Structure 1
Amino acid sequence: MDFAFDARTEELRAKLLAFMDEYVYPAEAVAEEQRAALASPWDTPAVVGELKAEARRQGLWNLFLPDTEYGAGLTNLQYAPLAEITGRSPHLAPTALNCAAPDTGNMEVLTQFGDEQQRKQWLEPLLAGEIRSAFAMTEPEVASSDATNITTLIRREGDEYVITGRKWYISGAMNPDCRIFIVMGKTDPDGTDIRRQQSMVLVPRDTPGVTVKRAMKVFGYEDHSHGGHAEVVFDHARVPVANLVGEEGGGFAIAQARLGPGRIHHCMRLIGMAERAIELMCRRAVSRTAFGKALAQQGVVHNWIADARVTVEQLRLLVLKTAWKMDTVGNRGAHTEIQAIKIATPRAVVDIIDRAIQLHGAGGVSQDFPLADLYAGARTLMIADGPDEVHQRSLARRELKKYL
């Protein structure tokens, strides 16, 4: 395993670091000011469009997509350090580069499983950053950590599918630019193979019977920058059979293919979130005095900073190993590593951010620093894309299988 950055990665890292310093960090406060003046909190601040235009001009666009026809053609190992950098400003940088979830996963699905018409109608405008999208799988009535539990029905009637069900925490759905849902439901609810009951269909947002009911908060945050997390009702919504993604019964497999890259992308960005927290912790420590000496001279603060640095270095190596393995043996071959980083990274980063919050005192939980927002995002990732316990169960079974 060689994790040294190649020439192209070094070039993109340099450009991206400069882009962050010159454009993204200064835009954080501007975006908040502009959002306060918008008619709807879900509208996109003008500065976001400016960032996207500049990122595209600099060639910092669609870096996540390894497909050379549609994306930058980077390997996971090349993309990892770039995603880490964007994680330092998770609500602006990924969007500016057109590398934000859930659009990234949806573009990957359309690239791999969409037909020519679906790619032309939906993939191309997503790649151009002209529209946004949402992925509708999680449901409030069932334990969605087991995707076979979903109850949304996709019933065929002639040349149409009729979708009926209720979803929630559908990321991006509040954004007025969200034009398309990829909806997972059951086309064969009584099928003997529980992993072949599900299918995915493309449902335009303006389809009759589709209602975006409300925004779901996360630790009190509405997450405007990501287009919110919505409750969405599908009440006999009808779409053409041509809107099926892949084949009937292929929804579960498509979901697994979608979530693999998504999980490592989240972990890459989490490393950047941890680095931002460490930077803020150090700046606070050298600027504040308590009980007669700087916080930077307090032994407990030394421990927090040292432990955070050790943890980040460990996590980064595990993420890079996972990226390398995905590149060399494929996502299935890297299954153990993908689960390992999904278990280890969010919980460790939550702890680092928590220490940074503690060091900031009241400021740490306020809106004047990004730490509370970072904490909410990192803590959510212990649930999103499969809760820790599901990954632990699967990983333990794989380990035990060697001895049975």
Structure 2
Amino acid sequence: MKFDTLALHTGVEICPHTGASSVPIFQSSTFHWESLDDTPKFDYARSGNPTRAALEHAIAALEGARHGFAFSSGMAAITGVLLTLSAGSHIIACEDVYGGTFRALTKVFTRLGIETTFVDTTDLNQIEAAIRPQTRAIYLETPSNPNLRVTDLAGAVHIARDHGLLSIVDNTFMSPCLQNPHALGADVVVHSATKFLGGHSDVVAGVATCNDDDLAEEIYLIQNGCGGVLGPQDSWLLMRGIKTLPLRIRQSQATASQIAAYLSQHSKVHNVFYPGLPTHPGAEIHQRQAQGPGAVLSFDLGSSDAVRRFVEHLHVPIFAVSLGAVETILSYPARMSHAAMPEEQRRRLGITDGLLRLSVGLEDAEDLLEDLEHALRKI
């Protein structure tokens, strides 16, 4: 099936007990055993819940995977996957990784004896050069957050397989609607499902998918053993959000392309980062591995003073953490998503005090462009 159809028909959309067109919210913490010898499919909600199981089936189908897992947040999904690694392991990660992931890798996993080397993964040679005898995984974001750098997924996965390494891809920015890392050979795909999958700024969730049965058992061991599972209410909200994912992505992406083109020609804007622009250094690779440039872009106004004046005169977008919602969200990475990253490293990566990230929503494109122009005039 085409993705638009699959988003609505993953095989779990109808309640098998009642025929209801929406999977029920099974608000239960425990489940009855018919007998001592008849172990039920669900016994305790941390270990499994019918609503969560339906979501996990759906996200696996959308990503083209055999197994899906729903966690209480994107970071719970990311750390849940990384906790399958043993103490003493070494990870190679893209240097411009999401700030929350950077914090986990540098402040949490180091306590477990798991070290990370951050490299520019757009240069595959740097990935090769960073491999050690203890290396066990390569962690990627493409496009990356917030400067939308593009990594050649097929090339990076090839390196991982040659060296027996786990390849993990954060697919939050693209969603399975636009990019399918498993089709390019990635072992694990993770999402902050709070973003495009949920799409309505009303749920915090994370998901992970994989194809390998043994790896799936390991991820489930961490999910169940550590307990960072998604509740049934949030699982239901996430399934509802997924049903409109293709439509939301298409409209947001179309408007984002217009805004990126407009900003790239504006005298007050120093730089625009968006893989849909022909000037983007990773545009060609992105076109090969994704079905569109997405709905997130970043642009640099040159200074924190310019950002302050711009934000004060902007009316339509909300100024907040997060992305991927029906409303347009403007974020300030230096103080929001990447506040956990040391200032020196942020500056080296181009995450300047003048950088803003814009996640384009479903508002009328002309309204957004007029609002942006109004605010830019105040700089």
TM-score bracket relative to the smaller structure:
under 0.3
Greater fraction of residues in helix: 1
Give the TM-score normalised by the residue count of structure 2: 0.28
Higher relative contact order (CA 8 A, sep 6+): 2
Give the TM-score normalised by the residue count of structure 1: 0.26
